[in-house]
Amino acid sequence: MISVAIIGGSGYTGKYIVKFCNNHPFINDFEIYANKSADKSIHEVFPELVCEVEDKVIRSTKNLEYHHDVYFLALPHGESLNFVPKLIENDKIVIDLGADYRLDDYQNFMQTYNLNHSHPNLLKEKNYGLAEFNDKYSYNLIANPGCYPTAALLSIIPIVKNYSNSIQNISTIAYSGLSGAGKKVAQDMLFAENYNSVKAYNIGTHRHEAEISQEINKFGIEIDYSLTTHLLPIFSGIYSTTIIHLSDEVFENEIKASFNQHFEDSAFIRLRENPPELKWAIGTNYCDINVKCLGKKIIVTAAIDNLIKGAAGQAIQNMNKLFGWKEYLGINSYKEELENV
C-alpha cells in the first residue's frame, strides 16, 4: 500500500486523480495540496464527489509534506519547476502532468515555452510517459504526455515503427474541448464566446507540435510534421485526424495488422472499424482509433478524453506500470471485477 500526494488537485484533472486514487486498491491514503483552494474541503471544491469520496481539507502547497510515496503534479507549465527537483532529491516518485519535463532538450524547451528551465539535467533524467509505449521506468520522474500528443502519437507510432523509410510527411488536425485550457478565466475561452463556432488557434506555433516531433524522431528519422489545433464548444475531448503520406503504396490490411500487433495487450486502446465518435471516449480512459488507407496515404482518426486519457487516467496508468500493477487499477472498475470473477 502507498500514500499519494496530489499537488494542484483542485483543478479539472485533479478531480479525476482524486477519484482514481480513491478507487485504487493499493492506495492507502492521499492528500490534496493547492494554492487558491487551500483550507477548503474536497466537497466544497467538488460537490459532485459527496458520497463518493471522503471529505478532507485541502492543504496548502506551502506546507507540503514529504512522507508520501507518489506525487502527482497537475499544475500550469512553469509551476512544477518549484516542486519537482526537491521531490526527486528526496527520492520520491513524481508524475508530472504539466509540460515542464516533457521535452528532452534545454534549448528546445526555452524556444517552445519561452521559459528558462531551472534544472535542465532532469529533462534527460525522466521517463516520457506515453503509457502504451513505455515499459522501462528508469527514473523516478515521469513526464505525462500532453493531450494532443497522446492522441497523435498513438495514431502515428505504429506506422513510424514499421514504415519509417517510406514516410514523406505527417500532419495532424485536432480539436479540443475548452477544459484543455484549465480553470483560468479568459474571455476567449468562455463557453458563450465559443458556442455555435469552431476556430483554429496557434497555427504553426502550438507547443505540442515540438513534443510530438520529438517523440517521432526518436525512431531515428526526421519527419516533416505539422499540428493544427482547433477549439470545440464542448467541455472535454480531443478528436484528431492524422494524415501520413508515403512514397509507396500500402495495403490497409497490413496497416491494421501493425496496429493490432502494437495494441493487442493494451488495456485502453479500442481499434474501431469506423471512425470513432468523440462521445464514445468522453468520460473514459480509452483511445478509440480507426485506420483507413488510400493508396500512398494513411488516415488515422482518434478520440480521447483530454482530462482522462490525455491527463489523469494516463498518469494513473503510468503509476500502475511503474509498480508492476494491472494498468486499469483505480481507473476501470469493470475490468477489476472481471479480474476477480
Q: What is the pLDDT of residues 41-61, one digit of tens each?
A: 999 999 999 999 999 999 999
Tally of domains in the chain:
2
The model's confidence at residue 220, banded by pLDDT at 50, 70 and 90, is confident
The residues pairing with 34 across neighbouring beta strands, listed in sequence order, are: 60
Is residue 147 flagged as an active site residue?
yes
What is the average pLDDT score of the chain? Answer: 92
The reply to whether 228 and 325 lie within a common domain is no
Whether residue 326 contacts residue 131, with contact meaning beta carbons closer than 8 Å, is answered with no
Task: Please say if the pLDDT value at position 192 is more than 60.
Answer: no
Per-residue cell: 319: 503509476
Once rounded to an integer, what is the mean pLDDT over residues 257-268? 94
The reply to whether 216 and 200 lie within a common domain is yes
- Please tell me the predicted confidence (pLDDT) of residue 202: 86
CATH of the domain at 243: 3.30.360.10
The reply to whether 298 and 324 lie within a common domain is no
174 or 190, which is more confident?
174
- Please tell me the predicted confidence (pLDDT) of residue 164: 84
Could you give the percent of the chain with pLDDT greater than 90?
Answer: 78
Alpha-helical (H) ranges within the chain are 12-23, 42-45, 84-89, 106-113, 121-124, 147-163, 191-194, 207-217, 252-263, 278-281, 313-323, 333-340
The reply to whether 26 and 157 lie within a common domain is no
Q: Which of 34-43, 58-67, 175-184, 238-247 has the lowest mean pLDDT?
A: 175-184
The model's confidence at residue 186, banded by pLDDT at 50, 70 and 90, is low
For 223, phi then psi, to 5°, come to -110, 140
The reply to whether 256 and 159 lie within a common domain is yes
The reply to whether 116 and 209 lie within a common domain is no
Could you report the per-residue pLDDT of 276-294, keeping only the tens digit for each? 999 999 999 999 999 999 9
- Please tell me the predicted confidence (pLDDT) of residue 301: 98
Per-residue cell: 266: 493494451
pTM of the predicted structure, to 2 decimals: 0.93
The reply to whether 217 and 140 lie within a common domain is no
Active-site residue identified among 21, 51, 147, 293: 147
Determine how β-strand 27-34 pairs with β-strand 2-7.
Answer: parallel
The reply to whether 58 and 69 lie within a common domain is yes
The reply to whether 281 and 230 lie within a common domain is yes
Once rounded to an integer, what is the mean pLDDT over residues 146-159? 97
| Residue 231 lies in domain | 148-305
Could you report the per-residue pLDDT of 312-339, keeping only the tens digit for each? 999 999 999 999 999 999 998 766 666 6
The reply to whether 123 and 220 lie within a common domain is no
CATH of the domain at 106: 3.40.50.720
Could you report the per-residue pLDDT of 61-107, keeping only the tens digit for each? 999 999 999 999 999 889 999 999 999 999 999 999 999 999 999 99
The reply to whether 107 and 198 lie within a common domain is no
The reply to whether 48 and 114 lie within a common domain is yes
The model's confidence at residue 341, banded by pLDDT at 50, 70 and 90, is very low
Q: How far is CA 222 from CA 134, 161, 219, 247, in A?
A: 21, 13, 9, 15
